[in-house]
Amino acid sequence: MIEVPFIKNYTSLPETLTHHDHVIVADNRAAGGTTPSKGVLAEATLYVHDQDGSIGFLIKPRQGDYTYTDTELKIMEADLLEAQQLGADEVIFAATTKNHQLDNEAMANLIAAAGGMTVTLADVWGSVNAPDSQTFSQLTDSGVERVLFDIDTAEQAEWTDFVAKAKAQSLVPVPMSADRAKLDAFAQDNDLNLAVLK
């Protein structure tokens, strides 16, 4: 299993990259995460690539839920284009409606702005209705490659079903946890090759 650390600032990169080839960076991690500054996007990408690693960034204009205004979505599109121009390998984001569904129109625009980068759906499952096969199929068709989910927020049986549905639609399920032993066990039990350590 490839363990990907989710870190909160540039200063953590040197030590992190001594043990990992891929890293995800977000600002304000303690509050759920927001988009790093342009300076962090640029310098972190340059540093990681100089070390032959790859890097992903959370794209989120504010703390809180994933239901955004038109202005917030425009900010996200601009941040995605910036990340793309700076050479980021992966971006993590999501957009939802007030009715607790994925916002397909907003997601389509964001995915278009993320062209050339791996698109990972943020861990949005606590704020949307339970996903079905159609939900995962739409994600695959739209260009999403990976889906994050926090195994600390529900029973393992629920996430095992989630993993099966995601895999059936050719998505890569990526579990997250702050507990390394729990994460390793879940990944092994569900034959997953990628996991994020919070």
pLDDT of residue 64: 93
Question: Across the 198 residues of the chain, what is the mean pLDDT of every consecutive 10-residue run?
Answer: 89 93 92 93 97 98 96 98 98 96 96 97 90 91 96 89 95 95 94 92
pLDDT of residue 129: 85
pLDDT of residue 32: 82
pLDDT of residue 29: 83
pLDDT of residue 106: 97
Kindly state the tokens that stand for 43: 């310098």
The CATH number assigned to the domain with range 2-197 reads: 3.20.20.380
Q: Report whether 186 contacts 177 (CB < 8 A).
A: yes
pLDDT of residue 126: 84
Kindly state the tokens that stand for 102: 């994925």
Q: In 3D, which of 125, 124, 121, 48 has the Cα closest to residue 87? A: 48
Q: How far apart are the first and last CA of the chain?
A: 16
* Domain-wise residue ranges, the chain: 2-197
